[in-house]
Structure 1
Amino acid sequence: MLENEEAKSKEQQNIDKELKNSEASELTTAKSHGEILKQQIVEGQETYDKNPVSILLSSLTAGLEIGFSYLLICTLYYFLQDKVEEDTIIKLMSFLYPVGFIMVILGQSILFTEQTSLLTLPVLNKKRSLKSLLKLWGLVIFGNLIGGYIIAFFLVWIGPRLQIFDLSTIEKIAVHVTDYDKMIIFASAVLAGWLMGLLSWLIAASKSTLSRIVIIFMITAVLAFTGLHHSIVGNVEVFAGLISSPAITISGYLIFIGLALFGNAFGGAVFVALLKYRAFVYDVKG
């Protein structure tokens, strides 16, 4: 038992040593796996060290800003309806979907799905506890959801008055998002969480703002084009339907948001954080 604990302690020391030695060079064109991992762990730990009120406000801001993606897709849908086939409109919406993500991520607001794997890494590296991770996730999710509720109420009110979309548009988008079997929504959310975790990893690997914009656009456009379920954008889409249409019920909303959040968290934490971290650990072991 004692020997096993000593072996684990030694292994952790080796991992920390390798991470410490992973220093990014301005002369290299690409960062190594260790350099990216180190940056992700450091950034994750910085979030843990922030004041809870600061985290909540940043998360609230992200929930509000992501609403601009919803504003654009509603406006496009309304503009093109009866002019273009509905399935074509849905695909075209994917080119506007990334706008809110670009605002949120480049603006350094805290978005749950983009931060999922980032916040998991310090736990895997034994620098933070699982309890602290769940507490932080809860705070970020709460802020993102509240921000989403606020922007949904505002857009449901302002959209018809500006005549850029109507309540029928809101209902159609909400029904489109939720009209799937529960297991399909969960599996779709896992893939979306996986993509968002990769987005965080790829952004850490990039060195310029332009490359980050391209990466954000590429990943989130793929997510939208394939119809994968993102919990925070989906929250705005479905909640807007809930407050403006009888087609969305409170139970339907709660089931959707629960499945989407759990699926996104699973996809980001397992398929990105865990696998990326374990790949580095096995490399250290040699």
Structure 2
Amino acid sequence: MSRTVVDKETGEIIELASYRTVEQQEAYKKVQEVEQRKNKSENPFIFTEMDGVDSVELINLENRKLGYFLVMQTYIDYNNMLRVKDAKLPMKPVEIRKALKIKDNRTFRNLMTEFLDLGLVYNKDVEMYGKTYKAMFVNDAYCFKKGLQGDNKNRKTTNAVKVFIDTLQDVYSQKKVKAGDVGLIYKSIQYLHYNSNVLAQNPTEMDEASVQPLDMDAFADAVGISRQGIHTKLIALTYPCIYKGEEVEFKVFARVRVGKHTFLKLNPFVAWRKAGEPPVESYIEFIMEYNKRTK
């Protein structure tokens, strides 16, 4: 026997051939999640262009605004429309403001006006479920998702970095982390070496012997912060995650000392350039640092 229901959110009238109770649906959802993990990565990601932060539009933005822009990128769908994970409809302004952790509405409006003027985002009406909704899109010159279909399915990722959505959102969700801290992550992406995740002056160099690491002083200059200031921020910048069934706090950046120089490595579960999941050798420093810190 068929049933007619109305979607309270969209007003759409739906004819159902069958239905499940809430308990049945939750059980079914868990089975689906297990199957999905078998067939695809558990770490969804976006591609962020490495040279975006050096574009004319972004180069003069302060770290705080760069951080807001990178957080926004983690909410794009395959059409670059801002949408909360698993939501049917575009993000509303209040949802975007909440995701960016901006309490003051005027500050949010001014930020969006600036982003619109710079062409970083744009508004567009979309037809969904028989209704028209106003949606915000992020300019795909800076970020994109690749699917089996769509405009970006054949797009090259040579100069793009995979930014892991859940990790970046977990980093930013912490009270101690400000938008400017995420801006440091955004600025570091342009230096991310392909094989090692070390921040390098020549990130495309494939010969490891010729890689020129970006030391702490150079990175501090690049992000416009004093050496002491960058040292303090990088020590504090951690994120909570589950490792081998245990809740831990890993660093976002590892400091690697070679001789008199200290250079930086970005946690590959924050951003990673190569295909597939980061192998253990790419994040061993972060595990060692955590073990040392907690003994």
Q: Give the TM-score of the pair, scaled to structure 2.
A: 0.27
Structure exhibiting the larger radius of gyration computed from Cα positions: 2
Structure showing the higher strand proportion among its residues: 2
Q: Which has the higher contact order (CA 8 A, sep 6+)?
A: 1
> TM-score, normalising length from structure 1?
0.27
